[in-house]
Amino acid sequence: MIARINNSCLYSIPGKDPGTVRWLGIPYAKAQRWHLPEMIDNYGEELRADQYGPASIQSRTFMPENKSNRKFYYHEFRDRCEFTYSEDCQVLNIFAPENASHCPVIVYIHGGAFMGGSSDEECFRDPVWPRENVIAVTLNYRLGPLGFFCDPKLKERDGHSGNYGIYDMLTALKWIHTYISAFGGDPENITLMGQSAGARAVQVLCCSPLAEGLFQKAVLSSGGGEGSWMNKCVAEEEMMPLWNDLKKACGAETLEEMERLSPQELYAGFGSLLGKDFRKYFGLCNPVSGNEVLPQSVEERIRSGNVMDIPYLIGSNAMDMDPPQMHKDACGYAFSRKTPSYAYLFSRHLPGDDAGSFHSSDLWYWFGTLREGWRPWQKRDNDLMNEMTGYLLAFAKTGDPNGENRITWPKAQDEKILVFADTLTRIDGQDPDELKDAAAVIGW
């Protein structure tokens, strides 16, 4: 199929499922290091969108993950994929029904602690959503120091610093809102979805005046809500002393010297900081407030009501990174919304090992991509996958996840949640028995 943007023809390739197509690796923006992205709207005469584009430079660019401390997540999501990496990583992928017309759209932001990840990991490849006439868009954005570096000279030059990864997401959303109709999507029916750091990014965008009108519903998995776990963000000026430590670690004294560093040199300095004091420097790569993206912190925006009044679907996993806190944060946010919203706990113990319902394990089910995984899936897994994608796609279409042949998901305002459990899905209160005190595996 051909999508036409201005005078450019963008050619698709067949999707994995019959009757679906995909456009891979479409550049949506360009940006110099630590500059704002500029939206791309001209691709010459034609663009053959037939392969995934590069992920952002990150630590795994230089260190094989099978030799790192993230072997579990590497095996779970990435060891059967090949990736490329670049500073020019502003690309997106579109999965659609053939001959789509006015379809709802889900835009997905990947997680990875704002330091790693990619939109083309195994669980994200060929989501089943287009089977039900919902378009999927996945995207890459700048990560780590390339996405969140704060510096006084940048502030002096541009009036802001940091949040470059968030600006990438905003530009992608503007691109999608402007051009998704060329791919058969409805620009007025867009659901923004994210997991872990991606969920936190969704929450930032729900609190940002710059995102008004760019999406109509939000899904936050294992990283959203109110409270202390994922919502801490500080003013950019408060982060600058820590970022100055990065300059020292890189042997640079000026912004110009930092801009001339190779990505490998930049990440060598960043890695030395994490090795020196991981707890102190882990939070460097986070959105910052006190700027046009976030005039106040996320917590302050939620507390003052300066957050989008839209339907939310939000939850976490029973053996997540910090199960009790993440569950409390998600429920607290969902229960207090004005617009009908929906809360869940995912507690399915995935077959194949003892990791349980670990952080990110629900992604296979939301995307409907069990076929891409290595695990010995059982009937319950396939049934649960069909159930969860059914809820998600109904929510994307109407803002209400309920429909035929599924247990009715109560509104969160009734302080009820849905539990996706080992043997059945049920309604429960805020304290389901499956919720654990700690995770079996840590990482992303």
Same domain, yes or no, for 165 and 269?
no
CB 418, CB 344: distance < 8 Å: yes
Number of Cβ within a 10 Å radius of residue 67: 9
pLDDT at position 229: 59
Cα(28)–Cα(366) distance, rounded to whole angstroms? 25
Q: What is the pLDDT of residues 229-255, one digit of tens each?
A: 555 688 999 999 999 999 999 999 999
Indicate the length of the chain as a whole number: 444
Same domain, yes or no, for 368 and 250?
no
CATH number (domain holding residue 27): 3.40.50.1820
> What is the domain extent for residue 12?
2-231+289-428
Q: What share of the chain is helix, strand, coil (3-state, %, to 5)?
A: 35, 20, 45
Does the predicted model carry a pTM greater than 0.85? yes
pLDDT beyond 90 at 19: yes
What's the whole-number mean pLDDT along residues 353-367?
97
Question: 65 lies in a domain?
Answer: yes
Same domain, yes or no, for 68 and 198?
yes
Cα(216)–Cα(357) distance, rounded to whole angstroms? 29
Q: For the chain, how many helices (H) and strands (E)?
A: 14, 18
**Strand locations in 166-294, DSSP E?**
185-195, 217-221
pLDDT tier, 66 (very low <50, low <70, confident <90, very high otherwise): confident
Question: 440 lies in a domain?
Answer: no
Which has the higher per-residue pLDDT, 69 or 88?
Answer: 88
Same domain, yes or no, for 251 and 154?
no
Cα(313)–Cα(194) distance, rounded to whole angstroms? 11
Same domain, yes or no, for 277 and 294?
no
Q: Which residues contact 161 (CB under 8 A, 6 or more apart)?
A: 34, 149, 150, 151, 152, 154, 155, 236, 240
Nearest to 239 by CA among 280, 197, 184, 294: 280
Same domain, yes or no, for 137 and 258?
no
Total domains in the fold of the chain:
2
Q: Which amino acid is at 245?
A: D
What's the whole-number mean pLDDT along residues 99-115?
97
Same domain, yes or no, for 170 and 143?
yes
Which has the higher per-residue pLDDT, 386 or 444?
Answer: 386
Question: 444 lies in a domain?
Answer: no
- Residue found under tokens 């994608």: 389
CB 375, CB 356: distance < 8 Å: no
Question: 209 lies in a domain?
Answer: yes
pLDDT at position 230: 55
Cα(227)–Cα(235) distance, rounded to whole angstroms? 18
Residue 428 DSSP code: E
pLDDT at position 65: 85
Q: What is the pLDDT of residues 305-342, one digit of tens each?
A: 999 999 999 999 999 999 999 999 999 999 999 999 99
pLDDT beyond 90 at 219: yes
Rounded to 5°, the CA angle 164-103-193 comes to 35
Q: Average pLDDT, whole number, for the chain?
A: 95
Question: 277 lies in a domain?
Answer: yes
One DSSP character per residue, 108-126 reads EE--STTTS--TTSGGGSS
Lowest mean pLDDT among 59-73, 179-193, 364-378: 59-73
pLDDT beyond 90 at 272: yes
Question: 129 lies in a domain?
Answer: yes
Same domain, yes or no, for 241 and 167?
no
pLDDT at position 68: 77
Question: 436 lies in a domain?
Answer: no
pLDDT at position 174: 98
**Over pLDDT 70: what percentage of the chain?**
99
Same domain, yes or no, for 227 and 241?
no
pLDDT tier, 401 (very low <50, low <70, confident <90, very high otherwise): very high
Nearest to 12 by CA among 98, 86, 140: 98
Same domain, yes or no, for 358 and 295?
yes
SS3 298: helix
Same domain, yes or no, for 298 and 195?
yes
Tokens of 426: 């049920």
pLDDT at position 228: 59
Same domain, yes or no, for 69 and 215?
yes
**Strand locations in 159-305, DSSP E?**
185-195, 217-221
pLDDT beyond 70 at 428: yes
Helices (H), 94-218: 144-148, 152-158, 164-179, 197-206
pLDDT beyond 90 at 121: yes
pLDDT at position 224: 85
pLDDT beyond 80 at 227: no
Question: 375 lies in a domain?
Answer: yes
pLDDT tier, 69 (very low <50, low <70, confident <90, very high otherwise): confident
pLDDT at position 113: 94
